[in-house]
Chain A
Amino acid sequence: DAGVIQSPRHEVTEMGQEVTLRCKPISGHDYLFWYRQTMMRGLELLIYFNNNVPIDDSGMPEDRFSAKMPNASFSTLKIQPSEPRDSAVYFCASRRDSLYGYTFGSGTRLTVV
């Protein structure tokens, strides 16, 4: 099992540019989560999906952020336009069901300059 795979590992972009973060969950896991980690706010849940359907997006900071899960093996988190305050580590996680734990990817470190 390759685990949760995120790409890219690092992203540096200029303010105003569009950024797309990608996540491949573990096969068979029916929940997928996007988190953002910053020093000031810690680990924040942005959005999560169950069976590819968004369940709770109340953590998405603003309309510049959007997330999709077109199929069970792929999800994207898009920021458009990006701003310096979006700089953070973005984690993706997946889970099979309530009997199991949550597995996290290695994260994407985003820097907006």
Chain B
Amino acid sequence: AQKVTQAQTEISVVEKEDVTLDCVYETRDTTYYLFWYKQPPSGELVFLIRRNFFDEQNEISGRYSWNFQKSTSSFNFTITASQVVDSAVYFCALGSNTGKLIFGQGTTLQVKP
């Protein structure tokens, strides 16, 4: 069975702090993909990143970075020097080769000024 666990329900930080959002996944598939989506207060789901199962190289995009470790089945997301505009719900998701995409429960990030 496939499962995505985001253990942190809510995180509150002060602006300029670094914050890491955790994601742990379970799958029996040999081919799979991992995603992060952002849902700002306006409600849309914004794609942030996609990782293939075989690509454990960490990725950095501006203030965002992702750490994928197959050994621990984790795909964590770090925001460096957080800003108020980063306040949102962040979802980790697992995609299979059949096309199915399932989401974790989400982590609500509040960045206070």
Enumerate chain A interface residues (CB-CB to B < 8 A). Answer: 31, 33, 35, 42-43, 45, 48, 50, 55-56, 89, 91, 93, 95, 98, 100-104, 106-107, 109
Contacts and interface: CB of A to CB of B under 8 A. Distances in A.
B98 A55 contact: yes
Nearest to A104: B45
A72 to B, nearest CB: 15
Given A45-B103, A55-B99, 16 more contacts: A31-B99, A43-B91, A45-B101, A48-B99, A48-B100, A95-B101, A98-B31, A98-B33, A102-B35, A102-B95, A102-B101, A104-B44, A104-B47, A106-B43, A106-B44, A107-B43
B50 interface: yes
Contacts of B91: 43
Contact of A42 (B31, B45, B99, B106): B106
Nearest to B44: A106
Q: Say what secondary structure dominates the interface of chain A.
A: strand
B13 interface: no
Interface in B41-61: 43-45, 47, 50
B99 A95 contact: yes
A101 B35 contact: yes
A89 B97 CA distance: 26
B88 interface: no
Contacts of A93: 45, 101
Contacts of A43: 91, 103, 106
Contacts of A89: 43
